[in-house]
A and B are shown apart, each in its own frame.
Chain A
Amino acid sequence: MSPNPQLDRQGRLQHLLTIDGLPARIITQILDRAQAFHESGADARKLPIMAGKSVFNLFFEPSTRTRTTFEIAAKRLSADVINLNVASSSQSKGETLLDTVDNLSAMHADMFVVRHAESGAAHMIARHVAPGVHVVNAGDGRHAHPTQALLDMYTIRHFKGAFENLRVAIIGDVMHSRVARSQIHALTTLKVPEVRIIGPKTLIPRDVESLGVHVHHDMNEGLRDVDVVIMLRLQNERMNGALLPSREEYFKYYGLTPDKLAVARPDAIVMHPGPMNRGVEIDSAVADGPQSVILSQVTFGIFVRMAAMAILAENT
């Protein structure tokens, strides 16, 4: 495989595109920086780290939460933030992706935060931009969503302390999930000894064991004695068709209910990248229950995105 396109020759982070191939030291550096922001109460005041820098939120796919948390994070670092909903502007007029990027670069962008419906879009933009301009992947197709995985790792570290003794289960539509792919790489890089994925065969990609996970099709078996339960969102368009017969059957066999959660360790935490489909992949009693850390994930997401952007800005 080609050399890691995210790092410069000194091994410093230049772009954040995927967790795949990202060294553990960089993941830990981001988590530590996020923790420093968290502990110093950086949510209350602005830091001058990115003063005078422009961050372009380039969303080719609609998103509210991710875009908002990136915007908040950039503003707390004193960056100027420009939000572009590209889906509704130039792309519909036939401009190519790289032309859009060129035009925005000419407006002196220092950083692009990119979301796109196709796998590999962020890599392509990163190959194209001038040196010193950073690209953060905010989700590309089914491929990667690195900041989501990093905030999930932050959450796990916050509640569990360390990674080396954990059993983690990821449940649901792994096939179509960029979140799951990034989580798997993060967990294995941080030396979690047992990562399980659970779902029906139609939602598990082929040869996924090559990523270092164990596959289960039965919730009772897969959830037994796990420390961390990560639910994935099931998109509406997958629910009725040739992948799954119905949301009711999916919920019955793969929805997280208090009964199913009972086989996990009593102190297991429950996570979800959001937005949740209550009654499809997760029961409200679990989502709102004492083991749920779902809202903490959202809060931590801002510190983690601040950390990633700060480190990139300092590596210019």
Chain B
Amino acid sequence: MNILIHDGRLVDATQALDRIGDLYVADGRIVSLDLAPAGFVADQRIDASGCVVAPGLVDLSARLREPGFEYLATLESEMQAAVVGGVTSLACPPDTDPTLDEPGLVEMLKYRAQSLNQCRVYPVGALTVGLKGERLTEMAELRDAGCVGFSQATVPIADTQVLARALAYAATFGFCVWLQPQDAYLGRGGFAHDGEVATRLGLAAVPVTAETIAIATILLLMRDTGARVHLCRISSAAGLEMVRAARVEGLPVTCDVDIHHLHLSEMDIGWFDSNCHLNPPLRSLRDRDALRRGAVTGLVDAICSDHSPVDEDTKQVPFAESEVGATGLELLLPLTLKWGREAGLGLGDTLARVTCHPARILGIGGGTLNIGVPADICVFDPALEWPVQPASLVSQGKNTPFVGYTLQGRVLHTLVDGKVVFQR
């Protein structure tokens, strides 16, 4: 199958590419960005005039809710949502039921995902059995089954000795450990940032120290064990500053923020909007601005959707009782573009945060338009505006704080492995 994507604006930060041109796909790979290779006859032509042709997006956190929570979402619905959003690779956290702590489960998930023929799924294995923070999982076996890293999802390890040993064991094999920094006790029972809004609304709070104390512990253990760590969902200015200092010191630490924390703050809770019930909580405007700046300077390596589809009914209850999370796969691209525009960042650099940078953290190829790589491509109209409404989302999760927003930038074609898996 030969595909010609013609007259698009080819954008790829890995090769400082930003020009109008044609992209040729043959046998699942990108074969030229210039002239047609000898003998190339297009089976399919995609007119990309007025559109951006970019590497497919790489999302570091998307919950597909399988196995165990199929009533919230299924692989079918969420992988469809991914390609509708231009996401061609995604990492899924291990907080399924059962948790991804056994090679068989990981193999099953990968097999199910592959058979759907949509985006690529990279499972992140559980760091401890059942995410209980007690016994280490068979990390090497899990890696062989397809895990790209190991994580506790949103369940902190309370026992620091277990954390130290988990990091040391992972470091033995050079595995990357993905940790969402949160103290097991300080945020206990809390639902909102410990600040003005939680005080006004009378919501039990999660202090910034829940994040910074956890980061301090992780960084100290990294020095001690030599482990590589990716910090997930940094939410505070103080936390980000600690990451900066650790980078200066030379520690192998990376981090991401999600689209909600990049755009929203505690103020968006308004009068108890349960769509803003997220983990970590939305923090102050000052924190949000620090995250936005950090994403510009590169201190924040990647932007992710933190896609967590939930059942509508579980949001129709008082804030503290509502389920945590929001849908995000279809919003990752337009919200990243919005941030980039507002920050005055070029399109290539903007897209790098959702393509080549997260691909590097995952340790996979992809996130580029280099000749010879599998053709994972996203073609989007950067100017097209669309209203975010439950009905306009493919994901089974319809809850997002961005309902009612009009966002700019919409995916028109998505290719994975040289096959068109979505076109609008």
> Could you tell me which A residues sit within 8 Å of B by CB distance?
1-2, 5, 20, 96-98, 116, 118-121, 123-124, 140-144, 178, 181, 205-208, 210-211
Given known pairs A143-B202, A181-B200, the reply for A124 and B318 (CB within 8 Å) is yes
Contact partners of B313 in chain A: CB under 8 A: 96
- Please state if B196 and A96 are interface contacts (CB–CB under 8 Å): no
> Which chain B residues in 186-205 approach chain A with CB under 8 Å?
194-196, 198-205
- Please state if A1 and B194 are interface contacts (CB–CB under 8 Å): no
A274-B196 Cα distance, complex, nearest whole Å: 27
Q: Chain B: which residue is nearest A141 at the CB level?
A: B202
Number of A-B contacts (CB under 8 A): 75
A2-B231 Cα distance, complex, nearest whole Å: 33
Can you report 5 residue pairs joining A to B where beta carbons are below 8 Å apart?
A: A118-B320, A120-B319, A124-B316, A140-B202, A143-B201
B344 contacts chain A at the CB level, 8 A cutoff: no
B317 contacts chain A at the CB level, 8 A cutoff: yes
> Which chain B residues in 11-55 approach chain A with CB under 8 Å?
none
A211-B201 Cα distance, complex, nearest whole Å: 11
Interface size class of B (residues with CB under 8 A): 20 to 34
A249-B319 Cα distance, complex, nearest whole Å: 35
Most buried by A among B201, B316, B319, B321: B201
- Please state if A118 and B321 are interface contacts (CB–CB under 8 Å): yes
Most buried by A among B196, B205, B273: B196
A121-B203 Cα distance, complex, nearest whole Å: 12
Contact partners of A140 in chain B: CB under 8 A: 202, 318
Given contacts A1-B271, A206-B205, 15 further A-B contacts (CB under 8 A): A2-B273, A98-B317, A116-B318, A119-B272, A119-B319, A119-B320, A120-B271, A120-B319, A123-B271, A124-B272, A140-B202, A141-B318, A143-B202, A210-B196, A211-B199
Contact partners of A118 in chain B: CB under 8 A: 318-321
- Please state if A124 and B199 are interface contacts (CB–CB under 8 Å): no
Q: Chain B: which residue is nearest A116 at the CB level?
A: B318
Contact partners of A123 in chain B: CB under 8 A: 271-272
Given known pairs A141-B320, A206-B195, A210-B196, the reply for A120 and B201 (CB within 8 Å) is yes
> Which chain B residues in 301-330 approach chain A with CB under 8 Å?
313, 316-321
> Which chain B residues in 60-119 approach chain A with CB under 8 Å?
none
> Which chain B residues in 252-285 approach chain A with CB under 8 Å?
267, 270-273
Q: Give the distance to chain B from A197, nearest Cβ to Cβ, in Å.
A: 11
> Could you tell me which B residues sit within 8 Å of A by CB distance?
194-196, 198-205, 207, 267, 270-273, 313, 316-321
Q: Chain A: which residue is nearest B321 at the CB level?
A: A118
Contact partners of B198 in chain A: CB under 8 A: 205-206
Q: Give the distance to chain B from A290, nearest Cβ to Cβ, in Å.
A: 34
- Please state if B195 and A181 are interface contacts (CB–CB under 8 Å): no
A123-B204 Cα distance, complex, nearest whole Å: 17
Given known pairs A120-B201, A124-B272, the reply for A207 and B320 (CB within 8 Å) is no
The 5 closest A-B pairs by CB, nearest first: A142-B202, A120-B272, A143-B202, A118-B318, A205-B199
A223-B106 Cα distance, complex, nearest whole Å: 64
Most buried by A among B267, B318, B321: B318
Given known pairs A96-B316, A124-B272, the reply for A119 and B194 (CB within 8 Å) is no
- Please state if A1 and B318 are interface contacts (CB–CB under 8 Å): no
Contact partners of B317 in chain A: CB under 8 A: 96-98, 124
A96-B273 Cα distance, complex, nearest whole Å: 18
Contact partners of A207 in chain B: CB under 8 A: 195-196, 199
Q: Give the distance to chain B from A215, nearest Cβ to Cβ, in Å.
A: 12
- Please state if A120 and B318 are interface contacts (CB–CB under 8 Å): yes
Q: Give the distance to chain B from A147, nearest Cβ to Cβ, in Å.
A: 16
A294-B194 Cα distance, complex, nearest whole Å: 33
Contact partners of A144 in chain B: CB under 8 A: 202
Q: Chain A: which residue is nearest B191 at the CB level?
A: A119
Q: Chain B: which residue is nearest A185 at the CB level?
A: B200
Given known pairs A118-B320, A118-B321, the reply for A208 and B199 (CB within 8 Å) is yes
Given known pairs A2-B270, A118-B321, A120-B271, the reply for A98 and B202 (CB within 8 Å) is no
Q: Give the distance to chain B from A115, nearest Cβ to Cβ, in Å.
A: 12
A50-B278 Cα distance, complex, nearest whole Å: 43
- Please state if B318 and A119 are interface contacts (CB–CB under 8 Å): yes
Neighbour of A1 across the interface among B205, B207, B270, CB < 8 A: B270
Contact partners of B321 in chain A: CB under 8 A: 118
A120-B315 Cα distance, complex, nearest whole Å: 13
Contact partners of B272 in chain A: CB under 8 A: 119-120, 123-124
Contact partners of A121 in chain B: CB under 8 A: 318
Q: Give the distance to chain A from B278, nearest Cβ to Cβ, in Å.
A: 16
